[in-house]
């Protein structure tokens, strides 16, 4: 594959001596324009890579906060086509920040894989995380995505043993997303000691950067992960700020405010 924005960003961060701040927000939550304002504001708030969630009716890996965010987006008329349009609008002002679409295969399958990859590439998408497509199904989307120049990012979990890990890593690119806890998004806080042990084992098998997510809510927690990982992923805590907002404008401010706080924690950790 040719070098992608994701590859370039991790290379630059390694030279800078710090971990990536990877944010997750739901497309269309609380509405299209507010979601666009959030995505546009995240780079200035410290986000290095932005994961944009695809709203789906049956998000089996997600906890209540992200499930509710997806339902709010769907109720507001958000679709995969509109999500790609949101990213293309973001790209009008930002050609550098990597964008990863994260979600489930059903909406992509319904849209049509070839059409989706063509439109996603044109919109400025850099990578995909499709949580319900295992490596055994790489011909469905992973291999076509790679051929289209998109990184296909896999998830590894505490239950991914040494026998399974090479299969997870097969055809993966961009980075590996390590799910720090067993369970759904936002379920509990990770143990830095357990994460460090897992990453030591995984790094024996891959040179891909490893970003750690699930359960990170504060700058202090993200800083602890930044000491041992190549990136810290925060999603549920940001998505929760939307529901806590008194109105849509306040929701945008709350999300970006928390992003700045967490970014400061990550940036306080310098690696040698």
Summarised one tens digit per residue, pLDDT across range 114-153 is: 999 999 999 999 999 999 999 999 999 999 999 999 999 9
Check residue 189 and give its pLDDT: 66
Active site residue 161: no
From the list 31, 62, 119, 230, the catalytic residue is 62
Summarised one tens digit per residue, pLDDT across range 41-58 is: 999 999 999 999 999 998
Query: Does a structural domain hold residue 219?
Result: yes
Query: Does a structural domain hold residue 272?
Result: no
Helix axes 248-267, 219-226, angle to 10 degrees: 40
Which residues does the chain have with pLDDT short of 50?
184-186
From the list 7, 29, 48, 51, the catalytic residue is 51
Query: Does a structural domain hold residue 169?
Result: yes
Query: Does a structural domain hold residue 106?
Result: yes
Number of residues in the chain: 272
Check residue 186 and give its pLDDT: 47
Check residue 182 and give its pLDDT: 61
Residue 130 to residue 103: CA distance in whole angstroms? 5
SS3 125: coil
Active site residue 51: yes
- Cα-atom radius of gyration of the chain, to the nearest Å? 17
Check residue 192 and give its pLDDT: 87
Cα dist from 161 to 177, 181, 196, 202, 234, whole Å: 15, 14, 15, 9, 25
Helix (H) or strand (E) holding 26: strand 20-26
Query: Does a structural domain hold residue 107?
Result: yes
Q: What average pLDDT does the chain have? A: 94
Query: Does a structural domain hold residue 95?
Result: yes
Please calculate the CA angle 29-42-176 and round it to the nearest 5 degrees: 90
Check residue 190 and give its pLDDT: 66
Helix (H) or strand (E) holding 127: strand 127-130
Residue 94 to residue 4: CA distance in whole angstroms? 15
Count of structural domains, the chain: 1
DSSP one-letter code for 55 = P
Q: Domain containing 116: what range? A: 5-267
Whether the bond between 30 and the residue before it is cis, its omega within 30 degrees of 0, is yes
Helix (H) or strand (E) holding 232: strand 231-234
Check residue 76 and give its pLDDT: 96
- What CATH number does residue 210 fall under? 3.20.20.70
């Amino acid at each position: 594959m040719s070098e992608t924005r994701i590859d370039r960003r991790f290379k630059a961060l390694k030279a800078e001596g710090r971990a990536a701040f990877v944010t997750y927000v739901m497309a269309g939550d609380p509405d299209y324009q507010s979601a666009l304002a959030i995505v546009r504001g995240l780079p200035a708030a410290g986000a290095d890579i932005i994961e944009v969630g695809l709203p789906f009716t049956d998000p089996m890996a997600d906890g209540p906060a992200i499930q509710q965010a997806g339902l709010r987006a769907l109720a507001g008329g958000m679709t995969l086509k509109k999500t790609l349009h949101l990213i293309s609008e973001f790209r009008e002002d930002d050609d550098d920040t990597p964008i990863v679409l994260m979600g489930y295969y059903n909406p992509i399958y319904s849209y049509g894989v070839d059409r989706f990859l063509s439109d996603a590439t044109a919109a400025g998408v850099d990578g995909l995380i499709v949580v319900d497509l295992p490596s055994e199904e790489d011909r469905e989307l992973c291999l076509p995505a790679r051929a289209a120049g998109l990184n296909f990012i896999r998830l590894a979990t505490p239950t991914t043993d040494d026998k399974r890990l090479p299969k997870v890593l097969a055809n993966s690119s961009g980075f590996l997303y390590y799910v720090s806890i067993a369970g759904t998004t936002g379920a509990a806080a990770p143990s830095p000691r357990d994460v460090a042990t897992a990453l030591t084992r995984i790094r024996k098998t891959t040179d891909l950067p490893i970003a750690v997510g699930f359960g990170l809510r504060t700058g202090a927690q993200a800083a602890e992960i930044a000491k041992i990982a190549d990136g810290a992923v925060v999603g549920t805590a940001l998505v929760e700020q939307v529901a806590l907002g008194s109105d849509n404008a306040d929701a945008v401010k709350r999300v970006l405010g928390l992003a700045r706080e967490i970014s400061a924690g990550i940036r306080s950790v310098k690696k040698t």
